[in-house]
């Protein structure tokens, strides 16, 4: 009996030693609709490829912190990571280069933010760019066409707002990312920028100051307290039919046409950003997926990356709520029939502009946003606010030189 037990143990140990190790991938995703679609795709890929999938779902700020720590320490905790495109310059050094080039179906603006040092280090998964939302029924009532310039936006805000006794415009101007996101399309349209080609602050140029003064003019037709607004407050005013126009992200489109949430079903339309001195461009907000250089399963990770971003899978992600990054998916007849804003989204994405490509953007954006919000709240003159912002941004840049 003892000999039989030893024989059974030996057979068991031999089988264990010769058994193929279990295949696995650990994927870090954003806790939101973008991450939900990728999580579903990962489970499907894992089932088809006999691979155990572990999904680590993290809130936005925590995702950046965890991913940055893993890439800098090269622990290999994750095999696939989601990256918001402004993070990319700071994280690029820790990413593995793609084993082959992406195909030409990707929208160029989305693909451009995946490159560093002449290498493709990620693939674009979610094609976000800002759109201009406006009440097409009220524009029709006043014989106005969709605004093509910011001056037309201001004129329409005044005319429709006064005529309908409602807010002609609504924007977010809370300190930090919120106010910067709403200001960037104005800044670019007026010929301004945050940094020049050498990375030096130019946010207090005459064009930039003019853009901020114009923003304050729009503020006269916005709800009281807008200097503390984030995306939820802006969207609430549109949904409740108390405001005529705003900048917003595609994620809010579905709510506008949902009778359980909206008083403006089929009354809101979407167009690319108005221009002024320069052509109008929206801010790019593309989510990328990449493989850390320290991944222990990079071959499988890249296989998943290319599979999740092919046309068939991206169409499924679009049906789950993610704007695509491929032209063919945006132009799919059945998707265009289902998502009426797709033509405007593609037009916006084609010309969309990323935030300055610097490793310092998180810190710069926070500083810039503080002073923009103070100006909108009436606490600082626009010129003084931008001069102060430029001074502090200059110090941030100098500290890293």
Residue ranges of domains in the chain, CATH in brackets: 19-126+287-351 (3.40.190.10), 131-283+358-399 (3.40.190.10)
What local confidence, expressed as pLDDT, does residue 102 receive?
Answer: 97
Nearest CA among 250, 249, 222, 292 for reference residue 73: 292
Mark out the alpha helices in 19-98 (DSSP H runs).
Answer: 33-49, 60-73, 88-91
Structure tokens at 112: 């451009």
Q: Which residue has the tokens 């990728």?
A: 38
Beta strands in 241-350 (DSSP E): 245-248, 268-271, 287-290
- What residues in the chain have per-residue pLDDT under 50? 1-2, 4, 6-20
For residue 45, the tally of other CB atoms under 10 A from its CB is: 19
Closest Cα partner for 273 from 161, 364, 349?
Answer: 349
- Cβ burial of 283 (10 Å; 0-12, 13-18, 19+) is buried
Element of type H or E holding 310: none
DSSP states along 273-297: PPBSSS---PBB--EEEE-BTT-TT
Q: How far apart are CA 76 and CA 70, in angstroms?
A: 7
**What number of CA atoms fall less than 13 Å from residue 281's CA on the CB side?**
21
Residue 183 CA to residue 364 CA, distance in Å, equals 14
Q: Which two three-digit tokens encode residue 99? A: 């084993």
């Amino acid at each position: 009996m003892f000999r039989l037990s030893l024989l059974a143990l030996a057979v068991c140990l031999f089988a264990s030693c010769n058994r193929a190790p279990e295949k696995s991938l650990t994927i870090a995703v954003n806790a939101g609709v973008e991450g939900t679609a990728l999580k579903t795709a990962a489970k499907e890929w894992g089932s088809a490829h006999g691979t155990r999938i572990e999904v680590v779902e993290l809130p936005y700020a925590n995702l950046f912190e965890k991913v940055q720590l893993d890439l800098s320490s090269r622990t290999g905790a994750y095999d696939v990571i989601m990256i918001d495109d402004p993070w990319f310059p700071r994280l690029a050094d820790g990413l593995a280069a793609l084993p082959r080039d992406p195909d030409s179906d990707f929208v160029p603006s989305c693909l451009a933010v995946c490159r560093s040092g002449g290498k493709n280090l990620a693939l674009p998964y979610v094609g976000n760019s800002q759109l201009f939302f406006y009440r097409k029924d009220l524009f029709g009532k006043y014989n106005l066409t969709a605004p093509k310039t910011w001056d037309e936006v201001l004129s329409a805000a005044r005319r429709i707002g006064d005529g309908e006794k409602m807010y002609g415009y609504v924007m977010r101007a809370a300190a930090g990312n919120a106010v910067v996101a709403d200001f960037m399309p104005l800044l670019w349209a007026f010929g301004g920028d945050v940094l020049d080609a050498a990375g030096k602050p130019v946010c207090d140029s005459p064009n930039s100051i003019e853009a901020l003064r114009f923003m304050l003019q729009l503020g006269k037709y916005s709800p009281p307290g807008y200097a503390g607004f984030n995306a939820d407050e802006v969207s609430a005013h549109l949904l409740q039919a108390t405001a005529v126009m705003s900048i917003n992200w595609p994620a809010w489109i579905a709510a506008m046409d949902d009778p359980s949430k909206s008083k403006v079903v089929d009354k809101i339309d979407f167009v690319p950003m108005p221009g002024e001195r320069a052509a109008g461009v929206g801010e790019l907000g593309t989510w990328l997926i990449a493989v850390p250089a320290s991944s222990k399963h990079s071959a499988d990770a890249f296989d998943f990356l290319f599979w999740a971003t092919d046309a068939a899978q991206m169409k499924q992600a679009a049906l789950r709520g993610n704007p695509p990054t491929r032209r063919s998916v945006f132009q799919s007849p059945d998707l265009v029939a289902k998502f009426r804003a797709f033509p405007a989204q593609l037009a916006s994405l084609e010309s969309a502009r990323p935030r300055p490509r610097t490793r310092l953007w998180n810190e710069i954006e926070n500083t810039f946003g503080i002073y923009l919000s103070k100006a909108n709240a009436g606490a600082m003159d626009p010129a003084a606010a931008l001069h102060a912002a430029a001074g502090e941004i200059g110090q941030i840049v100098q500290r890293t030189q």
